Amino acid sequence: MLCRAEQSIDVLVYAAVFLHEQQTDLNDRLRELADRGCRIRIALGDPQGTSITARGLEERFGHGIESRCEIALMHYRPLIGHQGISIHLHNTTLYNSIFRFDDEALVNTHVWGANAFAAPVLHIRKLADGHLFSTYTQSFEAVWKESHAAT
């Protein structure tokens, strides 16, 4: 879905370091897509945020999630300033992680007390008469408004 995206890619996560671990050329791909006109917005958890600390306690993961947020920011930092790519930090409670690619999205539904990798992932598509896709895109937009640019 990432490679097929033409208009927009939106990612809302705390860390999702698996993206760079599984696709080592991810930054190059994102740059190429942005250079072709695709708008890319990545919202990462603020490693200093209280929501991150609380999530670590709930998952019995301690400071691990804060470290993962730092690692994710380290991976995305080379993209800061590239035209068409915005990297933000947020301090919100995530009820799900959202990976949007044009009119499709993967939504990782979070489960209290469990790491995200242990929770279900939904594949949803934008439908003319449907509201599910727009519910998640509105959720992304709300968090994006609360976030700030990473440095």
- If 0-12 CB within 10 Å is exposed, 13-18 middle and 19+ buried, where does residue 81 land? exposed
Residue 26 has pLDDT above 90, yes or no: yes
Angle at 119 between CA 23 and CA 113, to 5 degrees: 120
Residue 55 has pLDDT above 80, yes or no: no
Residue 70 has pLDDT above 80, yes or no: yes
Tell me how far apart the alpha carbons of residues 14 and 47 are, in angstroms, rounded to a whole number.
9
Instruction: For the chain, give every domain's residue range.
Output: 8-149
Residue 64 has pLDDT above 80, yes or no: no
pTM of the predicted model, to two decimals? 0.91
The confidence score (pLDDT) of residue 121 equals 92
Token pair in block for residue 118: 């242990």
- At 7-25, the pLDDT tens digits run 999 999 999 999 999 999 9
Question: Per CATH, which fold does 8-149 belong to?
Answer: Endonuclease; Chain A (3.30.870)
Nearest to 69 by CA among 93, 53, 85, 80: 53
HEC profile for 40-90? EEEEEECCCCHHHHHHHHHCCCCCHHHHHHHHHHHHHHHHCCCCCEEEEEE
Q: Please give the single-letter amino acid code of residue 30.
A: L
- At 81-136, the pLDDT tens digits run 999 999 999 999 888 999 999 999 999 997 777 666 777 899 999 998 889 999 99
